[in-house]
């Protein structure tokens, strides 16, 4: 896919959890324009499926690693503010630990 002004739509508007419909609409616009919409309309050949799954696993593994590193960094850099209640700080730490568990850290 060549770099066109439409591609910038996808690079500027990444998926952030609550904009799936907008991202999907933008993706369809770009694929239609680039004449690649057939990718969404045809079945994937069986011999390509293992390679696609491996690529997706690699991609997601990288995202998980980044999330884990971010969580650890937040925990390590967390300090209680002077003259602030300990409860506030402990709740913040508990959120970081819950996030760490959610991201697969033990």
**Is residue 62 scored above 70 in pLDDT?**
yes
Residue appearing with tokens 């994937």: 44
Tokens of 30: 């770009």
Burial 90-105 (b: 16+ CB within 10 A, else e): eeeeeebeebbeebee
pTM of the model: 0.44
Cα separation, 105 vs 85, in Å, equals: 28
Q: How far is CA 70 from the centre of its chain?
A: 13
Q: pLDDT tens-digit profile of 6-50?
A: 667 777 777 776 778 887 888 787 777 767 766 677 777 777 778
Q: pLDDT tens-digit profile of 49-59?
A: 788 778 777 77
């Amino acid at each position: 896919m060549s770099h066109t002004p439409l591609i910038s739509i996808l690079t500027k508007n990444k998926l952030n959890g609550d904009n799936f419909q907008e991202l999907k609409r933008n993706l369809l616009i770009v694929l239609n324009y680039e004449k690649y919409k057939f990718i969404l309309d045809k079945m994937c050949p069986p011999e390509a499926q293992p390679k696609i799954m491996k690529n997706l696993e690699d991609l997601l593994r990288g995202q998980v690693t980044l999330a884990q590193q971010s969580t650890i960094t937040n925990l390590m850099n967390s300090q209680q503010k002077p003259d602030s209640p300990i409860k506030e700080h402990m709740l913040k730490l508990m959120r970081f630990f819950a996030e760490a568990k959610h991201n697969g850290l033990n």
